[in-house]
Amino acid sequence: MRCTLTALGLVAFCIGYAQAQLQPAELVNTIKTQGLAFEEHALFRPSQQDDPALSRRLDDYDVLELDDEALTQLIFEHPDHFSLSLPKSGRSQPLELELVAVSPLSVGFSAVLASSGRPAKTLSGRHYRGVVKGEAGSVAAFSFFEGEVMGVLSSKSLGNLVLGAMGKERSAGQYVLYNDRRVLSEQNFDCATPDDGPDYRPGQLEMPIGYRDPGDCVRIYLEVDNDIYQNKGGASGTTNYITGLFNQVAALYANENINVTLSEIYLWDTPSTYYGSDSYTLLTQFVSQRPSFNGDLGQLLSYKASGGIAYLSGLCNPYAPKHSFASINSTYSAVPAYSWSVMVITHELGHLFGSKHTHACAWNGNNTAIDGCAGYVEGSCPNPGYPSGGGTMMSYCHITSVGINFSNGFGPQPGNVIRNAVINASCLQPCDNGGGGGNPPPGDDGCEGQEMALSITLDQYGSETTWEVRDTNGHVLYAGGPYADGANGSEVEQPLCLEEGCYVFEIFDAYGDGICCEFGHGYYSLTDSSGHVVASGGAFGDKDSTFFCLPFEPDSTSCLEVDFNDFEILSFGGPQDAGYYQLMNDGEILRIGNNAWKSISLKYEVTPHTVLELEFASSRQGEIHGIGFDDNNSISANRTFRLYGTQDWGIGAFDNYSGGGAWVRYTIPVGEYYTGRFDRLFFAADYDRYPYNSNAFFRNIKIYEGAGCEGTDAIFSPPALELTTMNTPSALRLYPNPTSDWLVLDLQSGEEGQASIQLFSVTGQLIDEQRLGVLPGPNQHRLDVSALPAGAYLLRMIVGEQQFTERFSITQH
């Protein structure tokens, strides 16, 4: 297959549709048609300071001063819509921007660190899009972070205006609002895209008659080079900068009725493996080193090289790369160069989706050029000169007197090429968060199905929290998040309307630590119209899932309850099983340990609606503690639901047990993960290395279809101290927690001997191991953790036959 290269950038998108507002002007109009007002927020005032050097770099600018308290209040209130006033010289009144809240991030978005492969702890901002009041055809995109604002606005009369912090004066709250015409014209734009490839078909240049499916999105993966990471001061600064840029890019696509969402940012917090000095080399390295990624399209961002390059492979092509490269700039002559980076990324996205340059002899249905801003044409056709109304995103008009006006967008023909490409793509999915647009207004028809209510109390890191409701075909019916950070304890209320049938509610945490209890006491509950709790929780890992059917019947008794007295406990897994089992409390509890895999003979057909409910406890952590169905005597990772353990093996969606011997109830929608006919239910307490002393306890096992069993209200019971036969020391305490340099271990030991201290990542990777002597009574040990990156960790201490596992966190050093 031949792949045609094109130059510059990348991002994630969705096709616009009538059922959700997408264009910034439509977002604003929707608010107004509801009779709602745009409350003014004045975050800026004219500054008394000026930099004389600015007049040598810019033709039209204003120096502004940020009101930090007003910004903090805005972020705290996070209004759905508001008016932002910007002082502008030469005008009797400030510019007034009418802005509406949007979410440019996909459900499940995360910023992943290259050093650990884990999401970074970052505080997210608030993103808005809208218009300049009174300026028809205008577009604006602004992002607000703790202590910082970044944005771009564009209209026919104003041109492109950029607002950003002034380099070295950023800490003093000094901002510049400037027209970017001169900045764009003076920068070197080297687009390495040859305008070859097949001619456009007539239909590609025409406006699509209709849209295929509402909400189809292209999810974009962005990989950020280490030079940007260093320049922006770490994970939080880089994530803010990239998501802010993306919001501006996404606004330009939204203005064309094309929706874009950001699925993941991969942050090179260590020196990257990209060493090329030109865009072609960097793109080929990106393709080679990142053949797959979390998104439909991917882009490498760097300060290296200039311009950019992309493959003209199109969407959903399984045999060609879906990669691009964009060289962006942080500043130009000490002023923020947001619009330059936005132009580069947006331009390359256009190539990636099939649009050629406007100076290519490929347009108008007769293979002629739209403009001649490059000073030449690509192909054999006349040079049409400069466009009278200014250039568009796929042109080189920024180097001419007419310039590129963002409010012109792509222009009709390049825009139609991109719209048709997205509409005809077969691999895209509905926008899981409503896309980058605003939420449609509530209708007046009422709910003709089953009314539900979702309530979420957020923890400190709301940006990690997303959720969705799916039907049994996997279609996302409702979705929400991510939310703002720093709003610990704030509540989200979401009404739902569902027809009779079965559904899956799933809540996600991008960092993998749930919403309770390390960084706040988050909690969620999903209730029906009668007040019955269908799903609830807060302490989970990456996600928590609940399968339910409507109408909800909490008193349903159609379920299978396991009484261990009715079964023979069998060895499972062949040589994998080297442990023991014991029936306790008259057969109510199955105890297994010392590297045990056991099973009972149980024939059951798992359907998409099958749910496994149980209570689990453990006082000695091993490598894999789990349960599942099987139809043979070999252990299988894709059938084992891991509840606890140090190994990342099996289905880990329910691995959130915190140890200590407490009973915890699990509700596992098995049918979401696999279906089929099985003849056994198995149990695992795997620990096949010294000291081989893991244990696991199971009780109250119930299997049912959909609605549940009678009498399953109790989720927790007191710690099962009777589960362990050892003399448990009174406590192992870690402090301070979180910490940044030293961790103190306080151990109350019941015996003299040697203790082993093991440090694990949350994925189960052994990081360090130490040995020390302990005496009966109180013992204290200081552990140096200053060399470890910020994140969550597990510490395990083994003293003789006694074992303790505690979790702690390291903050930024």
* Domain extent listing, the chain: 5-423, 450-550, 559-723, 732-810
Q: In what order do the strands lie in the sheet with 732-735?
A: 732-735, 742-749, 777-784
28-53 pLDDT, tens digit per residue, is 999 999 999 999 999 999 998 877 77
Query: Coil, strand, or helix at residue 802?
Result: strand
Pick the closest to residue 15 from 431, 359, 337 (CA basis). 431
H or E stretch including 538? none
User: Is-contact 219 286, C-beta < 8 A?
Assistant: no
152-178 pLDDT, tens digit per residue, is 999 999 999 999 998 654 446 889 999
Mean pLDDT, residues 609-625:
91
Question: Residue 549's CB: how many other CB atoms inside 10 A?
Answer: 18
> For the stretch 736-762, what's the b/e string if a residue is b when 16 or more beta carbons lie within 10 angstroms of its beta carbon?
eeebeeebebebebeeeeebebbbbbb
Tell me, what's the pLDDT at 432?
58
**Band of pLDDT at residue 531, cut at 50, 70 and 90:** low
Q: What is the pTM of this model?
A: 0.59
pLDDT at 11 over 50: no
Query: Coil, strand, or helix at residue 114?
Result: coil
299-311 pLDDT, tens digit per residue, is 999 999 988 888 8
356-410 pLDDT, tens digit per residue, is 999 999 999 999 999 999 999 999 999 999 998 889 999 999 888 898 999 999 9
H or E stretch including 723? none
Q: Hey, what are 273's tokens?
A: 């493996």
Pick the closest to residue 204 from 323, 348, 345, 356 (CA basis). 356
Domain covering 5-423: architecture: 3-Layer(aba) Sandwich (3.40)
Measured between alpha carbons, how far is 706 from 196 in angstroms, rounded to an integer?
A: 56
**Residue 777 half-sphere exposure toward CB, CA atoms < 13 A:** 1
Query: Coil, strand, or helix at residue 212?
Result: coil
Question: Residue 777's CB: how many other CB atoms inside 10 A?
Answer: 11
Measured between alpha carbons, how far is 804 from 597 in angstroms, rounded to an integer?
A: 22
pLDDT at 589 over 80: yes
Measured between alpha carbons, how far is 511 from 427 in angstroms, rounded to an integer?
A: 27
pLDDT at 6 over 60: no
652-689 pLDDT, tens digit per residue, is 999 999 888 888 999 999 988 998 878 899 999 998 87
729-749 pLDDT, tens digit per residue, is 346 778 787 787 788 787 777
**Residues paired with 508 in a beta bridge:** 466, 543
pLDDT at 431 over 80: no
Tell me, what's the pLDDT at 330?
81
Mean pLDDT of the chain: 82
Alpha-helical (H) ranges within 408-470 are 412-423
Selected residue with higher pLDDT from 607 and 232: 232
Question: Residue 202's CB: how many other CB atoms inside 10 A?
Answer: 8
Geometric angle at alpha carbon 727, from 724 and 733, rounded to 5°: 95
**DSSP codes, 74-113:** HHHH--SEEEEEE--TT-SS-EEEEEEEE--EEEEEEEEE
Mean pLDDT, residues 518-527:
81
**Residues paired with 478 in a beta bridge:** 469
pLDDT at 2 over 90: no
Query: Coil, strand, or helix at residue 463?
Result: helix
Whether the bond between 482 and the residue before it is cis, its omega within 30 degrees of 0, is yes
Pick the closest to residue 500 from 543, 542, 537, 449 (CA basis). 449
Tell me, what's the pLDDT at 212?
41
User: Is the domain covering 732-810 a CATH 2.60.40.1930 domain?
Assistant: yes
User: Is-contact 139 159, C-beta < 8 A?
Assistant: no
Looking at residue 215, what DSSP letter applies? T
* Residue indicated by tokens 């048709």: 420
Looking at residue 467, what DSSP letter applies? E
Question: Residue 763's CB: how many other CB atoms inside 10 A?
Answer: 15
pLDDT at 638 over 80: yes
User: Is-contact 62 89, C-beta < 8 A?
Assistant: yes
**Band of pLDDT at residue 793, cut at 50, 70 and 90:** confident
Domain 450-550: state its class: mainly beta
188-201 pLDDT, tens digit per residue, is 677 887 778 789 98
What are the residues whose beta carbons fall under 8 Å from the beta carbon of 428, sequence distance 6 or more?
A: 14, 15, 216, 217, 218, 296, 315, 316, 422
452-499 pLDDT, tens digit per residue, is 889 898 888 888 898 999 887 777 788 888 887 776 777 788 888 888
What are the residues whose beta carbons fall under 8 Å from the beta carbon of 2, sequence distance 6 or more?
A: none
Measured between alpha carbons, how far is 706 from 724 in angstroms, rounded to an integer?
A: 35
Tell me, what's the pLDDT at 713?
38
Measured between alpha carbons, how far is 205 from 420 in angstroms, rounded to an integer?
A: 8
φ, ψ for residue 352, nearest 5 deg? -60, -30
Whether the bond between 46 and the residue before it is cis, its omega within 30 degrees of 0, is no
**Band of pLDDT at residue 90, cut at 50, 70 and 90:** confident
Tell me, what's the pLDDT at 210?
56
pLDDT at 4 over 50: no
Measured between alpha carbons, how far is 275 from 301 in angstroms, rounded to an integer?
A: 13
pLDDT above 90 coverage of the chain, percent:
37
Measured between alpha carbons, how far is 601 from 799 in angstroms, rounded to an integer?
A: 37
Q: Hey, what are 307's tokens?
A: 């311009």
Pick the closest to residue 249 from 9, 476, 414 (CA basis). 9
Measured between alpha carbons, how far is 701 from 706 in angstroms, rounded to an integer?
A: 15
Question: In this predicted structure, which of 222-236, 568-582, 700-714 has the lowest mean pLDDT?
Answer: 700-714
Query: Coil, strand, or helix at residue 56?
Result: helix
Query: Coil, strand, or helix at residue 453?
Result: strand
pLDDT at 18 over 50: no
Using CA of residue 431, residue 437, residue 439, residue 444, what is the dihedral sign?
negative
User: Is the domain covering 559-723 a CATH 2.60.120.260 domain?
Assistant: yes
Measured between alpha carbons, how far is 656 from 664 in angstroms, rounded to an integer?
A: 10
Using CA of residue 309, residue 313, residue 319, residue 322, what is the dihedral sign?
positive
User: Is-contact 247 129, C-beta < 8 A?
Assistant: yes
**Residue 684 half-sphere exposure toward CB, CA atoms < 13 A:** 29
Q: How many helices (H) and strands (E) does the chain have?
A: 9, 49
